[in-house]
Amino acid sequence: MSGVQTRTITHDDAEMRIDRWLRKEFPHLTQGRIEKMCRKGELRVDGGRVKPNARLEYGQKVRIPPLSEADSQPAPVALRKINKSDTKMIQDCVLWKDEHIIALNKPPGLPSQGGSGQGERHVDGLAEALKFGYKEKPKLVHRLDKDTSGLLLLARTPRVARALSEALRHRNVRKIYWAAVAGQPSPKAGSIKYGLLKAPGRGQRGEGEKMQCIHPRDVATTEGAKRSHTDYAIQDTAGTRMTWVALVPITGRTHQLRAHMAEIGHPIVGDGKYGGSSSENAGDGWGAGVGGEISRKLHLHARTLIIEHPIKKEMITLQAPLPEHMQRTWDYVGWNVDHAPLDPFNMDDDRS
């Protein structure tokens, strides 16, 4: 029998159900055994009892009771063959790399990792094609939503993965997103501090979990709600119809930017989950659809990432070009990416 184990949840495993996470880590465990561990309180997360369908969060500590020799066998390493087109696609996404880190410009529609309904084609699986001479594939240290494009970091060694995860956990990374939103927010720059609470989705395109915004004054008294903070700044406008905004997630909650912008009446263009036709839109239309020649794909892009290199201890600034559908929108309305400041929230930075 193995002894009691305590494991800390990484970015890669955040949002997974605990029963699925356990079967990934210990493939010989049966669902019945996992459910029994939960019923008896042997399996605990941050010291508390959990149900088999509980979702894990980054940084949580999972207590695993002693397992039999058979149950504690590690998961077998499954080598997936990646076809030539997928190999070329994911290698073409590489924006920058050195011997420690790989930075990708993730295309929209490609999940960061596997999960419910995501299939086998995702960045984590395709990372086998990003070894570039190393024995092990690089490891994701954070994620983007499937339909969000832009900068995604992978660590090439366990040491770097730990360092980057720690930097992300302590918010020692500057992440700036670009989005096109319906209408024109007022004031031109501000902060959104609604708390977020997981709630069931609704509507034909909103199946699954959604995040519900909770007024800041009610977060402390709402079970499950978490404080959340987003800063925004207007970059340019297309009249009152649509606005180019820069967004900085001060906290890193699920769907935070999408839920926050929809809550203030300016859903991100193309966001069917948070900007359905019944959603409030302070612009000229309804929800996240602005009509005309504008693509219906989500207009949210992880544009800039500024971080201290965990080994070389020098600052790295990375920028990812817009995906094709967003660049078409920018061209259509006459927005010029070359005139945008590196960090619109830093008044000392001016590229114009």
Residue of 13, 145, 147, 271 marked catalytic: 145
What is the distance between the alpha carbons of residues 182 and 156, in angstroms, rounded to a whole number? 39
In sequence order, the 6+-apart residues with CB closer than 8 A to the CB of 229 are 191, 192, 193, 249, 250, 251
Q: Which of 18, 6, 14, 24 is nearest to 52 (CA)?
A: 18
> 147 catalytic, yes or no?
no
Where are the strands (E) in the chain, listed by range? Answer: 5-8, 44-45, 48-49, 61-64, 94-97, 101-106, 139-140, 149-155, 173-182, 189-192, 195-200, 209-214, 230-238, 242-249, 300-308, 315-319
Q: Which of 204, 264, 199, 279 is nearest to 232 (CA)?
A: 264
Q: Which residues are catalytic?
A: 145
